[in-house]
Structure 1
Amino acid sequence: MMSFRQLLQRELNALWHEPWQLALISYIPLIGIFSLWWLFNAGLPRELPVAIVDQDKSQLSRMLVRQLQANAVISPIHYQDVGSAKASMEKAETYAVVVLPFQLNRDLLTGHQPIIDIRYNAQYLLVGKLLSSQIQLSLADGLKHKALIKQLASGVPMAQAKVNINPVQTQISALYNANSNYIVFLLPPVLLALGQLLAMLVFANSLNRELRLNTLQEWFSLGTRRVLFAKILVYTPLIVLQGRLILTLLYQYLGLPLAGQFGQLLLAQVVMLLAVWLLVLTIFFLLQDSARVISFCTALFAPAFPFMGITFPTQEMPLLAQWWRLLMPSSHYIDTHVGVVSYGQSFSAFTQQIVSYWGFLFLIPIIVFLARKVKRDTQVVLSKTQCSEVN
């Protein structure tokens, strides 16, 4: 019987002799982290192409185009007709279309309500939302200026005219991410989704190696739980180290705002990883096929980012999607991450979030049952093989 130290050495040797596995815990995460940081390092999208169709060609419409051009987010591109503008958006050459209608200036002067057609590509969730708000803001500023001039021309005093245009003044004070920086908003959950996927691949590859080398019988003879504990003890610190690197990059090197402490985040990452290990183990013992295990796990964990609720309200998802979300450990972790990073939550709130993982404990008896079944099947196959060799 191997000692536990020898079991750890067995896993480390297996890791050292698996180039792909070694890559997953070394340079591949680094490439992924720095590639994503490079993609988001601008902080805010700027000069997004927007198709402009000016059917009025008046002084007012040209002024509105200048308002759009003055917005750092928008880069207007002129088109002669609506059809070509729509075609450019369908080809992803532009992300939105603004149609300034014919007789826009005359309708405003005569008291009518012209319709300015604004369309955006909702497939690009964040870009579409950003452009929609910025286009409306720029056009509103221009039209308010026109309305102010009209009221002054009709003899309304300046003070009263300003009240008429803005009867209610609002002030928006951001409690978190005051600069609307996309690194703060998007990069942490994207890296979390990538990290969860890599963690799944690492652990699944470690289990699949027993299938590829036909060492299941050796595994069972060494003690199923002891070998599993050795695998968990080897790979959990390595993946947590990757998580610590991500936190260091985001909140120390890049200096993103952090209201709480690293300790809660690291502990939450350990709990999340244990939940990932339980899911992978269940799928491994259930399917017992390397390719199918990887395929099924990838399909399960692939939609991690949208299920976090960062870009889309999860309450609006279909019931099946909400159940799927509950199976995703990252969906539980993201509540802790937002609470610690944004609000510096208390330890009692952190404890309640950790308790949300309780459902994963039901996987333990399932894993025990499946492991025993696989062990029996392996022993039966081995006995039949030995009998056939004797005959």
Structure 2
Amino acid sequence: MRLSQLKSVLKRELRMMFGRPIYLFSTVFVVAFGYLFFLTLINEGLPERLPVAVVDSDNSAISRRLARELNTTPMTQVVAGCTNFAEARDLMQRGEIYGFIDIPRDFYKELLAGKRPEISFYVNNAYLIAGTLSYKDMLTMSTLASSAYQREVLRAKGMDDEAIMGRIQPIVIDTHQIGNPWANYGVYLINVLMPGVLQLVILLMTVYCIGVELKTKSSREWMKESGDSLAVALTGKLLPYSVMFIILGIAGNVLLYKFAGFPMQGSLLRFSASTVLFVLAHQAIGILMIGLFPVLRDAISFAALYGILSFTYAGFTFPIEAMPPLAQGASVLFPIRHYFHIYVNEALLGAPFVNSALSVAAMLIFLALPVIVSKRLKKALINQNYPIK
């Protein structure tokens, strides 16, 4: 009997899904567009040719050489040679450049006299990534230029190259970047932005497809189809969306790790299994939200707020460990945080499954959340005693 009722609810939901374009638009098109948007937005990995300026008050051969060498770096491009500080600051305030170098007057003379002249850098960190990368290139080039000048002076004094390098760079740093050796912002951002878009759509769609039954006063008919069983009603209603979102999530994994060449040190199959949990966990949270607020407008607002907050609590831009203790504790309330742990262990480190076991267990706990509001939600669906908004 329950199987026939499940089929009845499922057929009813499929008719609603294909009868209203907003359902498919909000699931397939929005998620697919998000995937393509982020993949094409950061397809180069790192921003290149960021506009900067040079204020050359010295106008000597070595200061002009420094400006030319700055232009050879991959991430910056000198687009203006300013005559004074005020002109460069005006360009930066208008957003035409992300930073500039200020080379003082008598720079070359002080360099020859061994007086250690200073070069000033100014960057616009309102644009955090652009400002940081511009500063990095300007600092690197000025350091290299300083070392090159020291080398020439020491050579003129008769020192051999080995002794010179020991003086200029006594300690050689051998850097190995784990997980993302290319310093690729795509690897850094897209692996969480794409699941972030997916979880936001899952939350909103889950809340909407249940809440619209309350709004249109059709929830009694829906419950009647299920034999007044909330489990059957929710399973039949959400199953088509579960299948679609799981397919979209796994398709995103295949797109990233098989076609886009993103690093996958572990098992794609295991990681895709965690994607299934990720989808179901957010559907469970959606049920919890509409159960707590059985009014469509209120539940949608709550789902949107929770979904946006999850980007912060994923911990991929600002480390959770650096947040206040209360905020650190709140991070466990977001499945995307646990999914990010699994991604790091599986894709970047290739760690054994035991390293991700706690995160998997946490995502399984989210599946039990609908039980908390089952009585309240069932009563709301049958009695329809909440305001229509």
TM-score, normalised to structure 1, is: 0.89
In the alignment, the residues of structure 2 paired with residue 275 and residue 380 of structure 1 have an alpha-carbon distance, to the nearest angstrom, of: 26
Question: What do you get for the CA RMSD once the two structures are aligned?
Answer: 2.4
Identity of aligned residues (%): 25
Correspondence for 1:258:
264
Correspondence for 2:208:
205
Tell me which of 167, 180, 186 is aligned to 1:177: 180
Correspondence for 1:276:
282
Correspondence for 2:52:
50
Distance change (3 Å), C-alpha of 1:326 and 1:106: farther
Distance change (3 Å), C-alpha of 1:367 and 1:115: farther
Distance change (3 Å), C-alpha of 1:80 and 1:314: farther
**2:92 matched to 1:89?**
yes
Name structure 1 gaps, 5 residues minimum.
382-391
Correspondence for 1:118:
121
In the alignment, the residues of structure 2 paired with residue 376 and residue 25 of structure 1 have an alpha-carbon distance, to the nearest angstrom, of: 28
In the alignment, the residues of structure 1 paired with residue 272 and residue 164 of structure 2 have an alpha-carbon distance, to the nearest angstrom, of: 56
Higher relative contact order (CA 8 A, sep 6+): 2
Correspondence for 1:73:
75
1:241 Cα offset (Å): 0.5
AA aligned to 2:130 is V
Distance change (3 Å), C-alpha of 1:369 and 1:125: farther
User: What's the secondary structure of 1:7's corresponding residue?
Assistant: helix
**2:112 matched to 1:106?**
no
User: What's the secondary structure of 1:119's corresponding residue?
Assistant: strand
Correspondence for 2:373:
367
1:74 Cα offset (Å): 0.7
Whether the aligned pair in 1 keeps the contact of 2:280 and 2:367 (CA below 8 Å) is no
Whether the aligned pair in 2 keeps the contact of 1:56 and 1:104 (CA below 8 Å) is yes
Distance change (3 Å), C-alpha of 1:380 and 1:252: closer
Correspondence for 1:386:
none
Distance change (3 Å), C-alpha of 1:379 and 1:86: closer
1:375 Cα offset (Å): 5.2
User: What's the secondary structure of 2:384's corresponding residue?
Assistant: helix
In the alignment, the residues of structure 2 paired with residue 237 and residue 143 of structure 1 have an alpha-carbon distance, to the nearest angstrom, of: 60
1:42 Cα offset (Å): 1.9
Distance change (3 Å), C-alpha of 1:23 and 1:233: same
Correspondence for 1:248:
254
Over 6 Å off, 4+ runs = none
AA aligned to 1:356 is A
AA aligned to 1:240 is I
Distance change (3 Å), C-alpha of 1:232 and 1:375: closer
Correspondence for 2:24:
22
Distance change (3 Å), C-alpha of 1:68 and 1:164: same
Distance change (3 Å), C-alpha of 1:169 and 1:21: same
In the alignment, the residues of structure 2 paired with residue 223 and residue 365 of structure 1 have an alpha-carbon distance, to the nearest angstrom, of: 13
User: What's the secondary structure of 1:345's corresponding residue?
Assistant: coil
Whether the aligned pair in 1 keeps the contact of 2:98 and 2:131 (CA below 8 Å) is yes
CA deviation profile, 1:159-195 (whole Å, cap 9, x unmatched): 2222110111111123332222332222221111111
Tell me which of 301, 309, 317 is aligned to 2:307: 301
Whether the aligned pair in 2 keeps the contact of 1:148 and 1:161 (CA below 8 Å) is yes
Worse-matched range after superposition: 321-330 or 9-18: 321-330
**2:352 matched to 1:346?**
yes
In the alignment, the residues of structure 2 paired with residue 376 and residue 317 of structure 1 have an alpha-carbon distance, to the nearest angstrom, of: 44
